[in-house]
Amino acid sequence: MTNGSTMHLDDRLGADGDDFYHHLMEAHEGLSLEQSQNLNARLVLIMANQIGDIDILKSVLTAAVEAGR
Protein backbone atom coordinates (compact mmCIF):
# COMPACT_ATOMS: atom_id res chain seq x y z
CA MET A 1 0.00 0.00 0.00
CA THR A 2 1.32 3.40 -0.95
CA ASN A 3 0.45 6.91 0.19
CA GLY A 4 0.47 5.65 3.73
CA SER A 5 -3.13 4.59 3.24
CA THR A 6 -4.18 1.44 5.04
CA MET A 7 -7.12 -0.87 5.02
CA HIS A 8 -8.57 -1.26 8.48
CA LEU A 9 -9.63 -4.67 9.70
CA ASP A 10 -10.09 -3.50 13.25
CA ASP A 11 -13.33 -1.85 14.18
CA ARG A 12 -13.81 1.76 13.06
CA LEU A 13 -17.54 2.25 13.51
CA GLY A 14 -17.52 1.76 17.24
CA ALA A 15 -20.86 2.49 18.82
CA ASP A 16 -22.28 3.32 15.38
CA GLY A 17 -21.85 -0.25 14.18
CA ASP A 18 -25.34 -1.35 15.13
CA ASP A 19 -26.74 1.82 13.70
CA PHE A 20 -25.06 1.28 10.33
CA TYR A 21 -26.18 -2.35 10.17
CA HIS A 22 -29.71 -1.31 10.95
CA HIS A 23 -29.71 1.29 8.15
CA LEU A 24 -28.22 -1.18 5.70
CA MET A 25 -31.03 -3.67 6.45
CA GLU A 26 -33.58 -0.92 6.28
CA ALA A 27 -32.33 0.09 2.84
CA HIS A 28 -32.98 -3.44 1.61
CA GLU A 29 -36.32 -3.83 3.30
CA GLY A 30 -39.13 -4.91 1.03
CA LEU A 31 -36.85 -5.34 -1.98
CA SER A 32 -36.80 -8.41 -4.15
CA LEU A 33 -33.47 -10.23 -4.35
CA GLU A 34 -32.94 -8.65 -7.74
CA GLN A 35 -33.66 -5.15 -6.48
CA SER A 36 -31.33 -5.78 -3.56
CA GLN A 37 -28.57 -6.88 -5.91
CA ASN A 38 -28.99 -3.66 -7.82
CA LEU A 39 -28.91 -1.62 -4.64
CA ASN A 40 -25.77 -3.41 -3.52
CA ALA A 41 -24.11 -2.66 -6.84
CA ARG A 42 -24.91 1.02 -6.48
CA LEU A 43 -23.64 0.97 -2.92
CA VAL A 44 -20.33 -0.61 -3.90
CA LEU A 45 -19.82 1.99 -6.60
CA ILE A 46 -20.65 4.96 -4.41
CA MET A 47 -18.58 3.64 -1.53
CA ALA A 48 -15.65 3.00 -3.86
CA ASN A 49 -15.72 6.60 -4.94
CA GLN A 50 -15.99 7.68 -1.33
CA ILE A 51 -12.87 5.68 -0.45
CA GLY A 52 -11.21 7.15 -3.52
CA ASP A 53 -7.91 5.31 -3.17
CA ILE A 54 -7.11 2.52 -5.61
CA ASP A 55 -4.67 0.80 -3.26
CA ILE A 56 -7.23 0.59 -0.46
CA LEU A 57 -9.87 -0.52 -2.93
CA LYS A 58 -7.66 -3.32 -4.21
CA SER A 59 -6.99 -4.57 -0.67
CA VAL A 60 -10.66 -4.33 0.22
CA LEU A 61 -11.53 -6.39 -2.84
CA THR A 62 -8.91 -8.99 -2.05
CA ALA A 63 -9.99 -9.17 1.59
CA ALA A 64 -13.62 -9.71 0.59
CA VAL A 65 -12.72 -12.40 -1.93
CA GLU A 66 -10.40 -14.22 0.48
CA ALA A 67 -12.89 -14.13 3.34
CA GLY A 68 -15.43 -15.93 1.18
CA ARG A 69 -13.13 -18.83 0.35
Partner 1 sequence: MAHYKYEPFDYVTPPEVAGGETRQYQVAIIGAGPIGLAAAIDLALHDVPTVVVDDNNVVSVGSRAICWSKRTLEIFDRLGVGERMLEKGVTWKVGRLFHRDHEVYNFDLLPEDGHKMPAFINLQQYYVEQYLVERAREFPDLIDLRFKNKVIAQDLADDGVTLQIETPDGPYSLRADYVIACDGAGSPTRHRMGLRFDGHTFHEQFLIADVDMPESPFKTEHPERWFWFDPPFHNGQSALLHKQPDNIYRIDLQLGPDADAEEEKKEVNVLPRIRAMVGDKPFTLDWVSVYKFTCARLERFVHGRMIFAGDSAHVVSPFGARGGNGGIQDTDNLCWKLAMIIKGDASDALLETYDQERRHGSDENLLNSSRATNFMTPKSQMEAIFRNETLILAETMPFARKLVNSGRLSEPCSLTGHDLQTPAEPDPAGLDPGMSCPDAPVLNQGKESWLLDHLGGRFVLLTIGDVALPDSPVEIDHLSVTTRGSDAGTLEDHRQFVADRYGDVTAYLIRPDQHIAARFEGAVSAAALNEALKRARGQQS
C-beta closer to partner 1: residue 9 or 33: 33
CA–CA gap between residue 65 and residue 13 (Å, rounded): 22
Helices (H), the chain: 17-28, 33-51, 54-67
Single out the residue of 38, 58, 61, 64 in contact with partner 1 (rule: CB under 8 A): 38
C-beta closer to partner 1: residue 46 or 63: 46
Single out the residue of 42, 58, 63, 64 in contact with partner 1 (rule: CB under 8 A): 42
Residue 37 as a binder of partner 1 (CB under 8 A): the answer is: yes
Q: Number of residues in contact with partner 1, rule: CB under 8 A?
A: 8
